[in-house]
Amino acid sequence: MLQISGTYTDLYQLTMAQVHYLNHNNQTAVFDYFFRKLPFKNGYVIFSGLESLLEALEQFQFTTQDLDYLQQQGFDSSFINYLKDFKFKGAIYSVQEGELVFPTQPVLQVKASLIEAQLIETILLNYLNFQTLIATKASRIRQVAPQSTLIDFGMRRAQAMGAYFASRAAFIGGFDTTSNVKAAADFKIPVTGTMAHAFVQSYDSELEAFQSYAQAHPQNCILLIDTYNCLKSGLPNAIKVAKSLQQQGEQLKGIRIDSGDLAYLSQQCRQQLDAEGLTEVKIAVSNQLDEYVIKSLQEQNAPIDVYGVGTNLVIGHPDAALDGVYKLAYANQKPRLKLSENIAKSTLPHQKQVYRLRDQNQQLIGANIIAKAEEQPDFNQMHHPFDLTKTMPLDQLKFEALLQPVMLNGKRQQAPTPLVDIKRFAEQQLAELPAEYKRFTNPHLYKVGLSTALLEAREKLRTTYKS
Amino acid sequence: MLQISGTYTDLYQLTMAQVHYLNHNNQTAVFDYFFRKLPFKNGYVIFSGLESLLEALEQFQFTTQDLDYLQQQGFDSSFINYLKDFKFKGAIYSVQEGELVFPTQPVLQVKASLIEAQLIETILLNYLNFQTLIATKASRIRQVAPQSTLIDFGMRRAQAMGAYFASRAAFIGGFDTTSNVKAAADFKIPVTGTMAHAFVQSYDSELEAFQSYAQAHPQNCILLIDTYNCLKSGLPNAIKVAKSLQQQGEQLKGIRIDSGDLAYLSQQCRQQLDAEGLTEVKIAVSNQLDEYVIKSLQEQNAPIDVYGVGTNLVIGHPDAALDGVYKLAYANQKPRLKLSENIAKSTLPHQKQVYRLRDQNQQLIGANIIAKAEEQPDFNQMHHPFDLTKTMPLDQLKFEALLQPVMLNGKRQQAPTPLVDIKRFAEQQLAELPAEYKRFTNPHLYKVGLSTALLEAREKLRTTYKS
């Protein structure tokens, strides 16, 4: 059984920390968490995983077992002694979970002693990269089916225990329910399910299988109709069951189709159900769905009420990883830079703040500016982060600070946010975002720029380091 | 914190189980675990995850918290009472972990009461699909770099807790070490690491950073040389440190390059290190590596000793999921079939055995045959599973049964196999496999066929079900 503790990390975090410890090199450091590339060619990313991270940081400690293992690996005993009492006591500045975020901007900053900041890097990246990826994937699916019920069915093909956070993030990104009972219970996600082919097969007849299920779950019965033949067998049997449920004063909730031409089959099913007066019976579909298949089904006006999405959702197909990184911006009382031949891979020094820009009517203009934390939010231009010739004037705009302290001295600043509130916040943010940034294909580029002071600080450091 | 217990499942397993429970429909059932498509267009798949699954099954139970949750969800109290004492008491027949497996063949069979077999489906798929995918990915990487040291660096971009089993499976598939401390400790994988850019940046000079690290870890020092400039700064500083280590009687273990043209830079570094007499200093590289990049570096004779592979390994890029399924083959004293318009999606009825075919000299002929479990292994032909017109004569061959009981009455039949033995077994299996099945591109198709009796049983059931 996997236990999340101090060794849930890369070895080098510990070997580097030991060097810092032995050299008493442990002044305040600032690290930025950000990503460089929009996944799925989407126009925005939904930041997700913050609450999971904060919970993990509050509990983060080295167990006796951890310390024994590190001793066997030859770590210094004084350092192991230090780890025995280790607690994260630093600060986390972050955008809200569910916020829309964009490449280059710091999404979260850690300000802590160098050792603390280093020891939490791996778990931070491991938690935030994945949930942010999946919330964004879920949101893409939600965008193409705004009125449909979306169910996460992905647990069996998920990357093992990745399933747990996948279901959480899918809910934030716009899914309604999950089949994953553990995640549902722990995160208070509505849990739903239908039935499997094996259930139908285990009976000598399909009708008998349907009747047994309906009898045991009369109020929550979705019949899987494609085990033998969807239209010739499954649908007529489902209609029989629906009618006998009606006689008991109950209502068949739905049918599910898991193979074949979902557009054609759903149309046929809807017609026949309606002809029998079963207009309330919902049609659910599944089978390798993703936002492209669902978009196509929607465009064909397939009368589908419920989409069950599995593999492609929970693995974040096709990207399957977000390229989020954790880069040093400040240490030992100096701003720090990672130099690169490619300016787009250089990092941004100093502790920073990110502002969202709004016009006088509070409308979003599709741009964020990154500035040094101590700057007054009163900028008259912003600079392209990598193309030094490009600037954008900022006239009559309002600046909304996005990075807020969510943890100080290792303590959360608010009670944990319920998941449903995070989901609602993401919905509100999306509702505000102009349509062109939500476009399915080739969305408009949301601009992220630098303040003049930040640009100058970076260029000065680049020049120093190059010489 | 995620706890693996009875609710680590899809809801429908529980709703279906309740129906079976209330109807006393709980006779012996047989389910097959198999997959249909070779991932990565590879010629073989390395079965992985069995020990993790067996361990989970031995511990599988419903906690008080689980039962309370299910009560809130409206489950029947008699069924909840049944779950209170639930233990998996069935049988698992499986190929060995580390065995090479192919589409269509049952890789593992569960023979248990219908409810038991259903309740473990999700965890079985969740564990086996992912580890099998990653072991196979790791093996592809190992194939292109047979002599190199391969390190798993993927934790930060892994699908959250998927990292844990990814590191385990990567080791089975051919990796030497991991940076994932938790997985290393729990699974006894050698653990290694280097240093991060942030470490170098946190010092005022690169040389000072290198010296500090070398002082703290003189016997295990790999210096990251590309924070500022690989050849102008990192390498000369690393050479200085190597020489001062030599004066202390120590040896710089290596340098790491994490950006730029790895072929060019490694050649330059090797030349300069050798010119300084530092022939023992290893060169490690990283940066978005996969089997294609590594193959190209090997073909260029880049003098690289160590490859650190991250994201593309641990997410199993680009497939990111194995399409493994769990299908009912027998229930209520009858063989069972899932019918499909597409014969390739029909399942195979009955409890089965899988035999590997060898010639009289014990050489593999590149074929397995699936038969009914009760058949004598003495077949003179095998049938293509989906093209009924194709048969292959089997003359003078030997039949090696691959499915063996690994759990009976819920008890393991052997002590857990150490991970290193599983890895070695996979290596031996691969060494035996003829080269054409291991080809990087367009590998030869390993044949999987059916015995005449099994084919006839399936066709008879198909005919019955269709009418």
Cβ-based contacts of A160 with chain B (< 8 Å)? 126-127, 130-131, 161-162, 164-166
Q: Give the strand pairing for A222-224 and A254-257.
A: parallel
Please give the biggest Cα pair distance in chain A: 86
Q: Which of A74, A84, A41 is nearest to A292 (CA)?
A: A41
Residues in chain A: 467
Instruction: Identify the band that residue B402 occupies on the pLDDT scale cut at 50, 70 and 90.
Output: very high
Residue A335 has φ and ψ, to the nearest 5°, of -65, 145
Instruction: Identify the band that residue B272 occupies on the pLDDT scale cut at 50, 70 and 90.
Output: very high
* H/E run at residue B407: strand B404-408
Nearest Cβ partner of B155 from A10, A31, A185?
A10
Residue A106 has φ and ψ, to the nearest 5°, of -60, 125
| Burial group, residue A275, by CB count within 10 angstroms (0-12, 13-18, 19+) | exposed
Residue A346, pLDDT above cutoff 90: no
**Residues in contact with A34: Cβ distance below 8 Å, sequence separation at least 6, in sequence order:** A103, A104, A105, A106, A107, A324, A325, A327
Asked if A195 lies within 8 A of B16 by C-beta distance, the reply is yes
Residue A211, both tokens: 């009747």
pLDDT average, residue stretch B265-286: 98
For helices B64-72 and B77-84, angle between their N-to-C axes, nearest 10 degrees: 170
Residues in chain B: 467
- Rounded distance between C-alpha atoms, residue A217 and residue A210, angstroms: 10
Q: Between A and B, how many residue pairs show a Cβ–Cβ distance under 8 A?
A: 324
Q: Is B462 helix (H, G, I), strand (E, B) or coil?
A: helix
Domains and CATH numbers, chain A: 24-51+90-127+324-466 (3.20.140.10), 135-314 (3.20.20.70)
Shortest Cα–Cα distance, A197 to chain B (Å): 7
Which of B159, B327, B334 is the mutation pick for testing A, counting most A CBs within 10 A? B159
DSSP β-bridge partners for residue B51: none
Cβ-based contacts of A180 with chain B (< 8 Å)? 10
Give the nearest chain A residue to B206 (CA atoms): A465
Residue B1, pLDDT above cutoff 80: no
- Expressed in percent and rounded to 5, the helix, strand and coil fractions of chain B are 40, 20, 40
Nearest Cβ partner of B201 from A197, A320, A336?
A336
Q: Is A321 helix (H, G, I), strand (E, B) or coil?
A: coil
Residue B46, pLDDT above cutoff 80: yes
**Residues in contact with A404: Cβ distance below 8 Å, sequence separation at least 6, in sequence order:** A93, A94, A95, A96
Residue B289, both tokens: 């590596």
| Burial group, residue B249, by CB count within 10 angstroms (0-12, 13-18, 19+) | exposed
Buried b / exposed e over A303-319, threshold 16 CB at 10 Å, is: bbebbbbbbbbbbbbeb
- Rounded distance between C-alpha atoms, residue A274 and residue A270, angstroms: 6
- Rounded distance between C-alpha atoms, residue A199 and residue B10, angstroms: 14
Asked if A10 lies within 8 A of B59 by C-beta distance, the reply is no
pLDDT average, residue stretch B339-358: 90
**Average pLDDT along chain A:** 96
Shortest Cα–Cα distance, B201 to chain A (Å): 6
Q: Which of the two residues, B142 and B395, has the higher pLDDT score? A: B142
Q: Which of B211, B260, B271 is nearest to B237 (CA)?
A: B211
Q: Interface pTM (ipTM) of the complex?
A: 0.97
> Alpha carbon of A451 to those of A338, A353, A381, B233: distances in Å?
19, 10, 7, 31
Nearest Cβ partner of A12 from B194, B212, B324?
B194
pLDDT of residue B164: 98
Which of A202, A232, A259, A262 is the mutation pick for testing B, counting most B CBs within 10 A? A202
Shortest Cα–Cα distance, B25 to chain A (Å): 9
**Average pLDDT along chain B:** 96
Shortest Cα–Cα distance, A84 to chain B (Å): 16
Lowest-confidence pick of A286-290, A338-342, B392-396, B455-459: A338-342
Under 8 Å between Cβ of B245 and B221 = yes
pLDDT in tens, B80-132: 999 999 999 999 999 999 999 999 999 999 999 999 999 999 999 999 999 99
HEC string of B157-192?
HCCCCHHHHHHHHHHHHCCCEECEHHHHHHHCCCEC
Which of A65, A159, A188, A466 is the mutation pick for testing B, counting most B CBs within 10 A? A159
Q: Which of A180, A167, A102, A174 is nearest to A131 (CA)?
A: A167
pLDDT in tens, B229-265: 999 999 999 999 999 999 999 999 999 999 999 999 9
Q: What percent of chain A has pLDDT over 70?
A: 100
Which of A3, A9, A11, A133 is the mutation pick for testing B, counting most B CBs within 10 A? A11
Asked if B180 lies within 8 A of A10 by C-beta distance, the reply is yes
Residue A352 has φ and ψ, to the nearest 5°, of -130, 165
- Rounded distance between C-alpha atoms, residue B163 and residue A369, angstroms: 34
Residue B132, both tokens: 């099998």
Q: What number of other Cβ atoms are within 10 A of residue B64's Cβ?
A: 8
Q: What number of other Cβ atoms are within 10 A of residue B39's Cβ?
A: 21
Give the nearest chain A residue to B185 (CA atoms): A69
Under 8 Å between Cβ of B115 and B48 = no
Instruction: Identify the band that residue A342 occupies on the pLDDT scale cut at 50, 70 and 90.
Output: confident
Asked if B212 lies within 8 A of A25 by C-beta distance, the reply is yes
- Rounded distance between C-alpha atoms, residue B101 and residue B36, angstroms: 11
pLDDT of residue A465: 84
Q: Give the strand pairing for B91-94 and A411-412.
A: unpaired
Q: Between the CA atoms of A12, A13, A18 and A24, what dihedral angle is there, to the nearest 10 degrees?
A: 130
Which of A3, A71, A161 is the mutation pick for testing B, counting most B CBs within 10 A? A161
Cβ-based contacts of A157 with chain B (< 8 Å)? 125-126, 129, 321-324
Under 8 Å between Cβ of A349 and A328 = no
Instruction: Identify the band that residue A243 occupies on the pLDDT scale cut at 50, 70 and 90.
Output: very high
- Rounded distance between C-alpha atoms, residue B30 and residue B336, angstroms: 9
pLDDT of residue B342: 79
Shortest Cα–Cα distance, A365 to chain B (Å): 32
Under 8 Å between Cβ of A298 and A262 = no
Nearest Cβ partner of B321 from A4, A185, A311?
A311
Cβ-based contacts of A2 with chain B (< 8 Å)? 2, 4, 161, 164, 182, 186
Instruction: Identify the band that residue A467 occupies on the pLDDT scale cut at 50, 70 and 90.
Output: confident
Residue B465, pLDDT above cutoff 90: no
pLDDT of residue A345: 84
**Residues in contact with A157: Cβ distance below 8 Å, sequence separation at least 6, in sequence order:** A310, A311, A314, A315, B125, B126, B129, B321, B322, B323, B324
Cβ-based contacts of A118 with chain B (< 8 Å)? 196, 198-199
Q: What percent of chain B has pLDDT over 70?
A: 100
- Rounded distance between C-alpha atoms, residue A435 and residue A431, angstroms: 9
pLDDT of residue A343: 83
- Rounded distance between C-alpha atoms, residue B110 and residue B91, angstroms: 6
Cβ-based contacts of B201 with chain A (< 8 Å)? 328, 331, 336-338
Give the nearest chain B residue to A318 (CA atoms): B318
Residue A233, both tokens: 């067998």
- Rounded distance between C-alpha atoms, residue A38 and residue A319, angstroms: 10
Q: Which of A83, A97, A100 is nearest to A53 (CA)?
A: A97
Under 8 Å between Cβ of B221 and B238 = no
Lowest-confidence pick of A80-94, A238-252, A339-353: A339-353
Residue A392 has φ and ψ, to the nearest 5°, of -135, 125
- Rounded distance between C-alpha atoms, residue B406 and residue A374, angstroms: 64
Asked if B259 lies within 8 A of A340 by C-beta distance, the reply is yes
Nearest Cβ partner of A122 from B20, B155, B216?
B155
Residue A148, pLDDT above cutoff 90: yes
Shortest Cα–Cα distance, B400 to chain A (Å): 30
pLDDT of residue B436: 98
Shortest Cα–Cα distance, B454 to chain A (Å): 19
pLDDT in tens, A156-175: 999 999 999 999 999 999 99
pLDDT of residue B338: 87
- Expressed in percent and rounded to 5, the helix, strand and coil fractions of chain A are 40, 20, 40
pLDDT average, residue stretch B187-214: 96
**B74 backbone φψ class: left, alpha, beta (φ>0; ψ -120 to 50):** left
- Rounded distance between C-alpha atoms, residue A74 and residue B361, angstroms: 49
- Rounded distance between C-alpha atoms, residue B381 and residue B369, angstroms: 9
